[in-house]
Structure 1
């Protein structure tokens, strides 16, 4: 309970600095973060945590869902305000927010709830949580980092198993299905994605695995992750079916060097965009800049994509406890792609990898 109360206190301080009166937190990762409560189903019934400086936190919840809410770890730190079918839940909510107040609203909020609140309390103004409080969940507590490390280790174990299967002659879907099974075997409760991009399909960073049969001589991009004990994994390794050509090895070596250089640039006080710049400059200097077509990284926690984003223009500085991917890539249309991705956490002195499988070009059968 102490941790949840501390998170609420810290969030209200950030809101004050941003010129906000508070936060309106709807079902999704933000609500889990502040209360541990995740409704079994996100429905049309209003559920919202109201955080206002100087007032007790209130969770507006349908009365039929109150028992589930009361069982959540952090709900003891808030006051429940329930409502019954036939009541006006927006009148309840309107009574908890300040007239003419300005609030950060969860990005996952339903538009119907926001519009109904504006009818009940027209002077209230809402803004996107991510746009106004982008670092809300970015700095992880020690327990969160260790959960992310455990998720990363489970993904690593799945990788070590998948490279032992035969690739040549199997479809991308066949390999991806096996990879998803392995993630669950090693403790993932949810598999969010398994990208298997073979040969020319690897030049599409978000290729959806299909029926292409993997062949001898293919470069294969494996990008996979999900949730373990509520926290995300996300890693990418690129393997090759049989020995690579000199050109393929050259591209791989450039990506590997860029990924290592970006990791070595991680330290407290460095701007997020600097990590992107370091990797991008190395790839550009090698002559492949136009083929690196995405940001170098994204935050991870209760979801697999969240702030901070390591991209040009992001001037937030790195803080110990931030966790994010570092995943440079080179994508040659019609030929192949290469990407290497680790989750990294910022320490007091630099960066710590949470994925620890070999970074070399693994040869598979």
Structure 2
């Protein structure tokens, strides 16, 4: 079903783009393409700016913002958050948001309004705007609609909120949310304030649900409490929301990698379990991080290095990026390329100072490679 939906969206995008380009045959092709591209960028950026401005009313808390696409280039402080400038300099501004409890109707209204504004603006340009702005208006109208359709199957995604939230069961909504304190702890962890995050969660009591439990395990990994993280992932009390089971598999895989590098598990214990978790993550982009570490632990060093190169180009929050740099460094160490590994670890250290996996890779990564 998901593959069918993806193919349908690609087909709709292709047909829409072709029709839009043909709608202005007298206009220079370069200007037509620029109009479509500009409309897409404007739609995404406008939607994200609106979510940033009014998202708190709908239980959305910004974790960070990004400009462009691709791997992280550098970060700029943005109050208590970061603006991540990425390697591909597209004029796209977008945010990573957390969800905290808020009334269902307000959540729906905030997200629907943020996506309705560019659609209405694009519709006005198509109906009454200058002829030269028609392609821009087409993209401004179509991009948010396609994004909503593409994310309709992802619990918590914008499309899911607009199209499925009104009839979603209450327990699913609760499973997608973190408490305000957990959201503050996640923000502190994202910005390298690991001790602050730990202090917040220590005073927060039991996790609120799957998202809160996962956050606590990520914090255990950040602090180097490998044994406790391993035990906690084996007795997670909450089932993940439908459609997000792969997130739990990815988390378990990350814990297994650290436990293996720390010498807590033997190859006979961690290799089959890692393979199973990787299979559960499936073909998703995040699987490349886990695959690089599994290949390294199997002794497939060149393949691990190749997979890790893809991982560091992924887009994600600071924890994902730092973890990818550690996986890359571990693959380089396994091949004896110490100087290059040190550079990757220095990047991870700058991104998340105090992250325990950095020291773990320095001490143990090469030692656990199978010969």
TM over 0.5: no
Q: Which of structures 1 and 2 has the larger relative contact order (alpha carbons within 8 angstroms, sep 6+)?
A: 1
More strand by share: 1
TM-score by length of 2: 0.28
